[in-house]
């Protein structure tokens, strides 16, 4: 994933957040490798696997490498900033303070250092937020959910009141508490409150 953030984009991405994403990872201090342990919320990941909409484990393996690259980039910005501040701001200010008793230079240097650390961390946060947005766009969660279609036979559905339950050989039991009557036997899906809601349509022609 080729990711660059311009200074103009920092305010745009600084507060960006997606309610569906819940990126979490494990950092191995020995190998310094990152393993992505979560992409979405637990219920959403369970639904994606259960309804065979998305291979979440494959996603975690693929984007573990991408997150590792992003974290390395953030670490580089942080270290480069600290080295710059120490060599060109703090060290000269300390020298002036001891050689010329210039406390004003030291105070100014400390204030400038705090400001630069804050600005770089804001940039890093915007960088990580843009990474998450680009990752979500690449995954295409909404399209994958809305494009998933499961047809079923008439003898594979059981209707009780307003609820319908479908049981096929390829999928686990799928229940919709408020199914629709229509001209086809089909299951579609929708996103709702960090989970996936099945939408069952049952063919009622001839009844």
The pTM of this model reads: 0.86
DSSP code string of 3-70: ----GGGHHHHHT---SSEEEEEEE-TTT--EEEEEEE-HHHHHHHHHTTS--HHHHHHHHHHHHHHH
Please tell me the distance from the alpha carbon of residue 164 to that of residue 94, in angstroms, as a whole number. 75
Residue range 189-204: average pLDDT? 94
Q: Give the start-end residues of each E strand in 112-154.
A: 150-151
pLDDT tens sequence across 56-110: 999 999 999 999 999 999 999 999 999 999 999 999 999 999 998 889 999 999 9
What is the pLDDT at residue 206? 46
Report which secondary-structure segment, H or E, holds 195.
strand 195-203
Relative to beta strand 195-203, strand 186-192 is antiparallel
Looking at residue 139, its pLDDT comes to: 96
3-class secondary structure, 169: coil
Picking from 1-15, 82-96, 187-201, which range would have the lowest pLDDT averaged per residue?
1-15
Q: 33: pLDDT confidence band, cut at 50, 70 and 90? A: confident
Q: Give me the mean pLDDT over the 35-50 stretch.
A: 96
In degrees, rounded to 5, the angle at the alpha carbon of residue 122 between the alpha carbons of residues 127 and 91 is: 115
């Amino acid at each position: 994933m080729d990711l660059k953030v311009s200074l103009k984009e920092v305010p745009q991405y600084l507060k960006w957040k997606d309610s569906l994403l819940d990126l979490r990872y494990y950092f191995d201090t020995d190998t310094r490798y990152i393993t992505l342990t979560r992409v979405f919320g637990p219920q959403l990941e369970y639904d994606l696997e259960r309804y065979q909409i998305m291979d979440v484990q494959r996603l975690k393996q693929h984007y573990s490498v991408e997150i590792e690259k992003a974290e390395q980039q953030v670490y580089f910005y942080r270290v480069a900033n600290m080295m710059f501040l120490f060599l060109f701001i703090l060290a000269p200010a300390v020298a002036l303070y001891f050689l010329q008793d210039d406390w004003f230079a030291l105070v100014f240097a400390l204030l400038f250092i705090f400001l630069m650390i804050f600005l770089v961390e804001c940039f890093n946060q915007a960088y990580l937020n843009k990474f998450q947005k680009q990752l979500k766009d690449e995954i295409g969660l909404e399209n994958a959910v809305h494009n998933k279609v499961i047809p079923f036979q008439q003898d594979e559905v059981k209707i009780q009141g307003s609820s319908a339950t479908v049981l096929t050989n390829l999928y686990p039991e799928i229940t919709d508490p408020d199914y629709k009557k229509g001209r086809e036997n089909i299951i579609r899906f929708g996103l709702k409150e960090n989970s996936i809601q099945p939408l069952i349509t049952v063919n009622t022609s001839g009844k």
